[in-house]
Structure 1
Amino acid sequence: MRGTNVMATTWMPRAAAVLCAGVLLAGCGGTDEPKAGSGGDSAPTVEAAALDTGSYPTSPAPEFGRATTDNIIEVEGQRLAEFTVAPFEIDPELTSGKMPTMVMRSGKNLGVVIGNAAGDIAHKHSMLYGYVTTAATNTPNVTDPSRSVVNAVLRFGNPEDAAATAREIQTQLTTVDDGAGIATAQTIDVLPNTLVTTRETASGAGPTVSVNALTPHGDYLLYTWAQAPTGQKDWTAKTIAKAVSLQSPLIDKFPAQPTKEQNGGTSAEFPVVDQDKILIYAIPEQDAQAKLGDDMAAYGPRGMAHRSTNPPLTYRVLTETGSEHNAVAKTTVYRAQDDAGARTIADEFANDLAAQGFTAAPSPQGLPDATCVTKDTVRGTEIYCMVVNGRYVGEASGLDDKKDVDQQISAQYLILEQADQNV
């Protein structure tokens, strides 16, 4: 799929290094004429003995079990992604993924979204975790006028802390100059419970207007930021209203882990890390912080779309093919409802990569049914490889190292040969 801030069609692999190369973005790794996947009657012959898998594992990982006190924050944040409205759902033109798009593991993380003071306020009120997603309209040049949205859901231990955080951040924005000027308090008629501020600034693309909106919603604080050229101020207000109208009912569906206080003073059973047993089939990251809490996760279609280079396509394809849980680690693994669905995922993502200018690259030795593509970018040479096995699609990616990507997808192929097709 491609990753946010991204590159081509997959997730965002190594957070700082390769923005999209990871495997969560839709369409990662294909050509105009994708090859038949493993297991089909027309599939080329795989030479297992010839596969170079490097030091990567070639068997599924042990089952992960339930979350622990060490990783519950990351797991809850990852689960929250599926219940965080994606920018393209607010405005279909918001398809260019940006940062910050990530799990928020503490109130301090709000500092990179709103500002350090806001992060301190959220931390003071014991924010538990959150998820933030960001996107802009596509423009030919970075200096061209564009519209952007940041949408975040922040969970607190109780409604009082969520509401107090909103009030104090609003006060901070309207009384303290953080270098961008003091914001002006505003109102949006259809959002009487939302605290709103606006600010006009100059930029290389011309003057812009930005709107901050803070909406307490039970234990949650919904934060939406919209920016547009000054002449499109009405768009920012309508966009904020649309975001809140979508996010409020969606977060009500989130099966959040109850706090000890909410559970009568005892800890509730933690959620399962690997929903539907899909993460065991992805190659794990060696660096636990490689994606800053966003990997080693099972995401649904919306969760995958947040960090995709083509969010609407990713969401549509994964939804239509019944790929309800998708694994994100060193590699990405999708599992469709049936074999035809897996082929559809691979074909749609491959065609999308071709449309982005990726060209065919050699398949790894011994694995002729893997589809690989490459493209030279300002970050270096991006490489994606994809392989299909029954209901599963495995995806590997990297930057400037085709041998490593070949080893990843070769190891991924051997793991998928052992995957449960009937789960």
Structure 2
Amino acid sequence: MLAATLIAALTACGSTVTGTALPGETDTRALDSGSYPVEPLNAHDDDPVLAFHERYEVAALRLADYVINPSQIDPQLKYGLDAGVTWGTIVPSSMGSYGAMGDAAAKHKMLFGFHSAAASAERSIYDTFDWPRKEPQSKFTADLTVLQFPDAAHADAAAQEFYDIDFAAQHGANQPVALSTYPGAHAHWRPDSPFLRVFLPHDSYVIALLVSVESPDLPALTTRAESAFTTQIQALTATTPLTEEQVLALPWDPDHVLMRTLNPDQSTNPDAVGGSYILTGKHGAVHFANRRVLPSDRAYVDQQLTRMEADQVAFTTAAIVIRTPSTDIADRAVTEKLFPWQVRLDADPAPGVPDTTCVENRRSDSVKRFSCLLAYNQYVGIVSSNQLLDAHQRAAAQYALFANTR
């Protein structure tokens, strides 16, 4: 009996035991990830530290979740034209003379802001170096900007100066316009033009709006402007203005969603201007459907992100990562092929990468020919390339990055 016990103990400690191995996670070392990085930038628990001025861009990306999409003014405004952050002297050209408006924003201590533009027709373009113009096929356009100032007094003064600068720049061609619902708004238009520009102070914010209709029609323009302001002011009730101290204390990627996103450039700093390194919520992400980061059909992008119940969305130059509420929902995104753009047909899957699907895209909807979508726990990753092999390697690298990120 003692001998049998000793034999059993020795077998357990040093000998090979036969049996069937339990299924485990894919060995990422066996995947073909090409030369793409497979470890997160904070692999050694050293999260990137942002420079002083970059905190304002983080605050602006936070604000993006509370800036309305122009489609909330009119569902026809579903094609994205532009979106981006503002801080310092950076303001969108839709507000008027770029240099003068930027100087005025800085003079009144603007902290940060966000703007979003859309139109009722794809590829509509306006020229705002003088008074704006647009392509004829676009019936409606809207570019809405929300800027935050230290307090209401600074916002009031800024809105007045924005208007004064812009109105003077029109050299008598424009006329003041009153909005009955918003008597504090500063608005003007050109009677032979379908555009209206308005600056409305609201608490610590200035809401700037450039809106157009099909032909010069002042009642239609003022109705749209008032509707936009009502909707935007309501959206702002879900957040609170930030103090400068709060801006500087904002966390950047606290849940490490960006750290999980394939990032060959090894970027660490927010870049919402170029759209190459962004973290925002689902609503904020839809603003970036403007043919730079996502296709311009914001309605379709919003539909797909909603089906994924997207919580946070991260963008780099190489990938998109969406955090969903659960593994089941992430897996469903793969099985239902919930790409944020229209696809043409299936493509070969990435070899060895579990929970993934690859497609060939409609070229009008994506700047890349092939895309792969993969799931890992509650995360969904999307990578794209003009070559299928490269798309497969990116998918493998994205999977490995998911597996290697805590």
Query: Normalised by the size of structure 2, how large is the TM-score?
Result: 0.77
Cα distance in 1 for residues equivalent to 2:89 and 2:146: 12
Q: Contact (CA 8 Å) 2:112, 2:149: kept in 1 or not?
A: yes
For 2:141, the aligned partner's letter is S
- Match of 1:154, SS state, is strand
**Paired residue for 1:71?**
54
> Is residue 2:90 matched to residue 1:108?
yes
Indicate the residue corresponding to 1:237 in structure 2.
222
Q: Tell me which residue corresponds to 1:391.
A: 378
Gap change, CA 1:390 and 1:268, over 3 Å in 2: closer
**What is the rounded CA distance, in whole Å, between the counterparts of 1:314 and 1:53 in structure 2?**
28
In 2, Cα distance between equivalents of 1:72 and 1:59: 25
- Unaligned 5+ residue runs, structure 2? 1-22, 125-134, 290-295
State the shift of 1:54 in Å: 2.9
* Aligned residue number for residue 147 of structure 2: 154
Distance 1:378 1:324, change over 3 A: closer
Root-mean-square deviation over aligned CA pairs: 3.3
One-letter amino acid matched to 1:126? K
- 2:338 maps to 1:349: yes
Rounded to whole Å, the distance in 1 between the matches of 2:139 and 2:258 is 37
Higher-Rg member (1/2): 2
How far does residue 414 in structure 1 lie from its aligned partner after superposition? Answer: 1.3
In structure 2, the residue corresponding to 1:281 is in which secondary structure?
coil
**Residue of structure 1 in register with 2:345 after alignment:** 359
Count of residue pairs brought into register by the alignment: 358
Code of the residue aligned with 1:102 in structure 2: it is G
1:223 aligned onto 2:208: yes
Please identify, of 246-255 and 133-142, the stretch whose mean Cα deviation from structure 2 is larger: 133-142
Change (3 A) 1:112 1:373: same
Which of 26, 33, 38 is the matching residue for 1:53? 33
Query: Does the 8 Å CA contact 1:154/1:220 hold for their aligned counterparts?
Result: yes
* Aligned equivalent of 2:182: 191
In 1, are the aligned partners of 2:201 and 2:207 still within 8 Å (CA)?
A: yes
Which SS does the other structure have where 2:338 is aligned? helix
* Cα separation, partners in 2 of 1:68 and 1:256, compared to 1, 3 Å: farther
Moved more, 374-383 or 403-412: 374-383
The answer on 1:130 being equivalent to 2:105 is: no
Please tell me whether the aligned partners of residues 257 and 270 of structure 1 are also in contact (alpha carbons under 8 angstroms): no
Amino acid at match of 1:301: K
> What secondary structure is seen at the aligned counterpart in 2 of 1:279?
coil
Counterpart code for 1:121? A
Q: CA–CA distance in 2 between the matches of 1:76 and 1:290? A: 12
Matching residue's letter, 2:403 = E
Q: Aligned letter for 1:175?
A: A
Q: Secondary structure at the match of 1:109?
A: coil
1:247-326 mapped onto 2 (5 Å cutoff): 247-260=232-245, 270-284=249-263, 285-286=265-266, 291-292=272-273, 294-308=275-289, 309-319=296-306, 321-326=308-313
The answer on 1:336 being equivalent to 2:324 is: yes
Question: What's the secondary structure of 1:98's corresponding residue?
Answer: strand
Instruction: Give the letter for the 1:197 counterpart.
Output: H
TM-score normalised to structure 1 length: 0.74
Match of 1:174 in 2: 167
Question: Structure 1 residues 133, 345: CA separation in 2 closer, same or farther (over 3 Å shift)?
Answer: farther
Runs (5+) with no aligned partner, structure 1? 1-40, 202-207, 261-266
Equivalent residue number for residue 204 of structure 1: none
What stretches of structure 1 move > 6 A for 4+ residues in a row?
none
Distance 2:235 2:181 in 1: 18
Q: Which residue of 1 aligns with 2:199?
A: 214
**Cα deviations across residues 375-394 of structure 1 (Å, max 9, x unaligned)?**
44599654332112232110
8 A contact 2:58–2:270 mirrored in 1: no
